[in-house]
Chain A
Amino acid sequence: MSADTNLKSRRQCAVPTRTIVGISELAVSTVGSGTLVTHSLGSCMGVSIHDPVAHVGGMLHAMMPLSAADPERARTKPGMYVDSGMTTLLERMFALGATKRNLVIRVAGGASNMDSDSVFRIGERNYTVLRKILWKNALFIQSEDVGGSKSRTMTLDLATGETTIKSNGVMRPL
């Protein structure tokens, strides 16, 4: 079950939902309460988008920069790549009534981990490709916590739009 179908089934619940966005996944929500969370952002790119007017929130956890690497895979799992993930996330948020002008975009991840990833500078590539897609869509980054070598957890509060980053046991607003 994908993250957003999960949300729909829980929409009736009174308890605020906490939806986990897994690696290579994306989720959107119009509930206006609860949180979207993604864990273990290393070289991956985490993107939190909130439209405070339309009460639409979304999150992406993309592993690699470009879907050209495996277009077939990108079709079935667009959240795997930064380019297809961002395009799909934005399209789905717009379909739910979000407007470009109101989007608040916060970005985390893109670390250069001390593993084989660093050979290909995946973190840097992910971040550059993300910036390119935002520039093409005429969108600004509101705030970011990128690079370095730490692992991050990103949480979007769907009621307030507040995004927090937890890394090395410390939680702070992004």
Chain B
Amino acid sequence: MTNTTLEMTSSEVGNPVNILIVDDSDIIRRMIARTIEMSGLPLSSIHEAANGREALSVLDRTWIDVVLADLNMPIMGGLELLDRTREDAALRDIPVIVVSTESCEERVDELEKRGVHAVVRKPFRPEQIRDVLLSITDRERPAARTDALGRAVDEVLPLLTFMNAIQLDAASLAPSSQTMMHARMGFSGSVSGILSALVPFSLARTMSENALGEPSSSKDADMIAGDTVGELLNTLAGTVVSDLGNGAAFDLAPPEVGTGSATDWADMQVQPTCAAFEVEGHTMLLNLNVR
């Protein structure tokens, strides 16, 4: 698996896109990547995976806007990958382009029924890949909703943890090498996407003590702090989705909580979708990706 981060030129407009190419052939992945680079899309990154399982692992830790996937691959093929993404609230709405030797019309119809955006037959002309990509990225992409994050934090934090927050400019923050917790959860409804958070461990601990109304025993402090961050994310996601979706029904996936690293911090703070908050002398990051 490789990850190429590309420089953007100032003339490009729109949110830069993150693309995942899934194919067991190195040459095909490189040809698709070249075509994407040629097409002049506002590009943030190109990720590659050699099969469905690798693709799921990329999707698990990275925000991806478009997937281009082959069908016949070892370990996990494109169909299973497609089904797995359709079962996951956070991945359900990712546009998938199948790039495959499949030419049987019935099967192509079936793929489209399963929610595949387009099927491009191999071998392809570079212009075909470009046209399909542009047809997706030309649609109006949701803008970064750091405003909604700010409103949610103002509503949730005082109630859950008896704290107030000041919103900061995430991009101008210094790197952080503190011990921190990383949490993410998917949601779907009238808007769908992923909300993730990086919360310094010391802040998470204070939050949990505030929520409990008493100091937690050192024995279960870690567990309670993790649980608090998970619940913080859960209530923030609920508030944000309700806000953006004007109160329409939505599903939340259970939050996943683990530890975060300085790299996670550096990656998250540069995203246009990231918002930073100062809470009682600590800084936390929230990142809201919606589609």
Contact = CB atoms under 8 A, between A and B. Distances in A.
A139 B38 contact: yes
Contact of A138 (B38, B125, B127): B38
Interface in A36-79: none
A141 B39 CA distance: 11
B126 A101 contact: no
Interface in B126-154: 126-127, 130
A141 B128 CA distance: 11
Interface string B31-47: 00010011110000000
A94 interface: no
Interface string B101-143: 0000000000000000000000001110010000000000000
B130 A138 contact: no
A139 B35 CA distance: 9
Nearest to B38: A138
A131 B127 CA distance: 11
A135 B39 CA distance: 12
B40 A101 contact: yes
B127 A140 contact: yes
A138 B37 CA distance: 9
A131 B123 CA distance: 14
Interface residues of B, number: 9
A140 B130 contact: yes
Nearest to A137: B38
A140 B134 CA distance: 14
Interface string A127-145: 0000100010011110000
B40 A135 contact: no
Contacts of A135: 34, 126
Interface in A120-161: 131, 135, 138-141
A101 B11 CA distance: 12
A150 B220 CA distance: 81
Nearest to A100: B38
Contacts of B40: 101
A45 B37 CA distance: 27
Nearest to B34: A138
B242 to A, nearest CB: 43
Contacts of B39: 140
Contacts of B37: 138
Contacts of A101: 40
B127 A141 contact: yes
A139 B38 CA distance: 7
Contacts of B38: 138-140
Contacts of A138: 34, 37-38
A139 B125 CA distance: 12
Contacts of B34: 135, 138
A138 B126 CA distance: 10
A174 to B, nearest CB: 14
A4 to B, nearest CB: 28
Interface of A: 101, 131, 135, 138-141
13 contacts: A101-B40, A131-B125, A135-B34, A138-B34, A138-B37, A138-B38, A139-B38, A140-B38, A140-B39, A140-B126, A140-B127, A140-B130, A141-B127
Given A138-B38, A140-B39, 12 more contacts: A101-B40, A131-B125, A135-B34, A135-B126, A138-B34, A138-B37, A139-B38, A140-B38, A140-B126, A140-B127, A140-B130, A141-B127
Q: Which 8 A-B pairs have the closest CB atoms?
A: A138-B38, A140-B127, A141-B127, A140-B130, A140-B126, A140-B38, A135-B126, A101-B40
